[in-house]
Homo-oligomer: A and B are copies of this chain.
Amino acid sequence: MTKPRATLTELEGAMLGVVRLEPNCTAYRVRQVFLASRSTEWSGSAGAVYPAVNRLQVEGLIGESPEQDGRGTKTYRLTPAGLTAHDGWLCDPDRALGAGLDPFRTRAGFWFVLPPKRLHTFLTGLGKQIETRRDELLRELPSLDDGDAAMATLHVGLQDLRLDWIAKQVKKLAKDRATRS
């Protein structure tokens, strides 16, 4: 147990959350959760998870539960320090307020460099795909539990936001074309 860091990374915070929700779970189990998560924020790669678990243990935020089965399987739970750290991560307004990284938003700042016709075609096609995804999400929403449902709701909202934005841009493109002629 070395000195605790000031802040957890997003991955570490999420990992602590998984262990918190499912005490005595293995590192492997944490991986599965990320692997299965439809939001592809992290790949849950072994090369990220195992080193992170070791970091968190060295820093005293998680601890090994007494061994259950005969083989080397290690299961973890949050230590009191880990609980405090995770609460801090959850309730850090500066982090929570951040806009994050949105590939749609990033591109939106540059799309207008494209020729209007091409942009129109692309955006309408993209809109169709977004609708499809949105409906998929909406369909699986009822089967999700608290946490996943909360995230999925925000996910759907994001897709709606993008759809609205696209509709507005497409309308503007149409108007510009009318004006030009």
Which A residues contact B (CB, under 8 angstroms)? 10, 13-14, 17, 20-21, 39-41, 86-87, 89-91, 93, 95-114, 118, 122, 125-126, 129-130, 133, 146-148, 150-151, 153-155, 157-158, 161-162, 164-165, 169
Chain B residues lying within 8 Å of A125, measured Cβ to Cβ, are 93
Tell me the dominant secondary structure on chain A's binding face.
helix
Chain B proximity of A156: nearest CB distance (Å)? 10
On whether the beta carbons of B103 and A147 are closer than 8 Å, the reply is no
On whether the beta carbons of A102 and B100 are closer than 8 Å, the reply is yes
Tally of this chain's copies: 2
On whether the beta carbons of A10 and B103 are closer than 8 Å, the reply is yes
Whole-angstrom CA separation of A17 from B41 in the bound complex: 24
